[in-house]
Amino acid sequence: MARRNKKKKIRVDLNFPKDDNTRRNFLMISISSALIGIVFLAFWAANATLVFGILTPAPANGNPVFINTACGFDPNMALPDYTQNESCFFTKERTSTQTMEVEWDNVKGPGRGQEFDVTGIAPERLGTLSHPPQEMRMSCVAKADEDFPYTIQIWEPSTGGGLGTSYSVSGVTNQEGDCYLEVMNALPGEGWEIWLQFDRSYPRMKEFTLTLEVDTYDGIPDWMNNKNQFIGPEVNLGPFNLRPLIFINFFGYGFIFLVYPGAVYWDKKMKAINAMEEKFPDFLRDLAEYWKGGLSMTLAVRTLANSEYGSLNDEVQKMSQQLSWGVAFGDVIVLFAERVGTPLVKRAISLIGEANRAGGKISDILVTAANDSREIKFLEGERERAIASYIAVIWTSYFVFLGVIVVLAKVFIPAISSANSGDDSAQIGNMVIRAIDPLFFLVVFFYGVSAQGLGNGAMAGLMATGRLSSGMKHAGMMLIISTIAFNFVAFSPDLLGVPGDMGLNPALGYFSPG
């Protein structure tokens, strides 16, 4: 008798992955942004006088630790000169335009003249390099009752005293565009003169307007202010002159990157899960109805896969596909609970799984789980509605605080600093006005607003949802708002210590040329 071949049963263990990279992505985003934030805070610390200047001794040469380290300057030596500054990318200089406007009326021959000064780098600050060239541009418009010729002469002072080289251009009254002169290198010095000349026989010149511009160097690096603090490159955005890379901004940038990106990602995922939980009771209720109608759990889920459950649609489709592959219903709902991962779903799925294994009237368990889930979501909604007014109060108080601080920084601090712009204290009667650094107060205000944003935001988020991620998201938004407000309103060039248009120091009076 032939032996019958016994067929071997092949058992396939379908160990389905969760197909959920939420935690991995959250860790990657959080760690990456935290590293960037730490780098930004380290940059801030290397430039802040709070760290090197108050908590620890400041470098003897007056430069921030970052500049000394990046440029290789010796912190124990004197302040770097122009030659040393030009050797480093961060301390290169750029010209600033100094302007002088001349408006004369009823000028009679032979004309008029006026003295002015051209600023520049002090000779002892040049180092081994010669003074860089400074371009001068002159344009003028002359109006009279009749057309007649005139001459403009610009005299450069001589090193030995008196006048040296002259530059001239001729024009005709009532004609625009022909009076323009360029001097490629206007040497710094006092006693420059500009002459307007025309013959005495000509009638008076009714109006004469002259604009003189000189691109000068001041010995201060372009990315530094007059207190040797790092303020970064200038960015012109319409009417706003911004310094987005000023060292104090990196205090805000650092905390924004520390708390915001990961919190936004996690809060977004929690909102998606919350949206699924909102539809979860409806799914359980429909599943109970199909069970009462005589369908098995497998057929019921596969039928409900064609229904509309909003954010839960994808999960119901996954359960239907897994059931079509032959995965047991109990394993499918366990995988679903692991993917969602919230206590509400896990508790309901645990009840359903036990009822499915025990048999009997599972529809009652489904209805009970649906009602329980719906009641929990209702209570969560009530809590959010009740706490919404407190969240509004927190945000309103923060905006009021921010507004007051910005107004103080924009109005009060300039008024106080302009009362005494020197390095020493000034006295008016019995009142002593001490010399202040406006940027110091701006920095203190910015620290205060940032600390307020971190605290208020964390509290607002925790009260709203009970999640730290939501608190960090609110804190990040407050930090972003305060950083934008300070940069567009408070961090004006005059308060940052950026050298402005100092002018060409024209003489108060004028003289007759010749």
Question: H-helix or E-strand containing 286?
Answer: helix 249-292
* pLDDT tens string 347-366: 888 887 777 777 667 777 88
Whole-angstrom Cα distance, residue 502 to residue 98?
6
Does the pLDDT of residue 35 top 80, yes or no? yes
* pLDDT tens string 418-471: 665 555 554 545 555 556 778 888 899 999 999 999 999 999 988 888 888 899
Give me the pLDDT at residue 154, please.
94
What stretches of 324-438 adopt beta strand conformation (E)? 426-428, 431-433
DSSP-derived secondary structure letter, 511: B
Cβ atoms of residues 166 and 154 within 8 Å: yes
* pLDDT tens string 107-146: 998 999 999 999 999 999 999 999 999 999 999 999 999 9
Amino acid occupying residue 353: G
Half-sphere CA count of 359, side-chain side, radius 13 A: 0
Residues with Cβ within 8 Å of residue 143, at least 6 apart in sequence: 173, 174, 205, 206, 207, 208
Q: Identify the residue with better confidence: 177 or 126.
A: 126
Percentage, residues of the chain above pLDDT 70: 91
3-state SS class at 157: strand
Whole-angstrom Cα distance, residue 465 to residue 414?
42
Confidence bin at 244 (pLDDT 50/70/90)? very high
133 token code pair: 């060239």
Give me the pLDDT at residue 1, please.
46
Residues with Cβ within 8 Å of residue 225, at least 6 apart in sequence: 231, 439, 496, 497, 498, 499
Whole-angstrom Cα distance, residue 120 to residue 97?
11
Give me the pLDDT at residue 394, please.
94
Whole-angstrom Cα distance, residue 369 to residue 291?
14
* pLDDT tens string 85-97: 999 999 999 888 9
Give me the pLDDT at residue 409, please.
87
Q: Tell me the DSSP string of 232-278.
A: ---EEETTEEE-TT-TTHHHHHHHHHHHHHHHHHHHHHHHHHHHHHH
Using omega within 30 degrees of 0 as the cis cutoff, is the peptide bond preceding 110 cis? yes
Give me the pLDDT at residue 117, please.
94
Q: What's the chain's average pLDDT?
A: 86
Task: Give residue limits of the domains in the chain.
Answer: 23-46+229-498, 50-93, 96-219
Residues with Cβ within 8 Å of residue 53, at least 6 apart in sequence: none
What value does the mean pLDDT take over residues 276-285? Answer: 85
Cα separation of the two ends of the chain: 140
How do 163-172 and 149-157 pair as beta strands? Answer: antiparallel
What value does the mean pLDDT take over residues 468-494? Answer: 92
Confidence bin at 368 (pLDDT 50/70/90)? confident
Give me the pLDDT at residue 370, please.
85
Q: Tell me the DSSP string of 187-247.
A: --EEEEEEEEE--TTSPPEEEEEEEEEEEE--SS-TTB-TTS-B----EEETTEEE-TT-T
Cβ atoms of residues 135 and 214 within 8 Å: yes
Fold of 96-219: Jelly Rolls (2.60.120)
470 token code pair: 């939501």
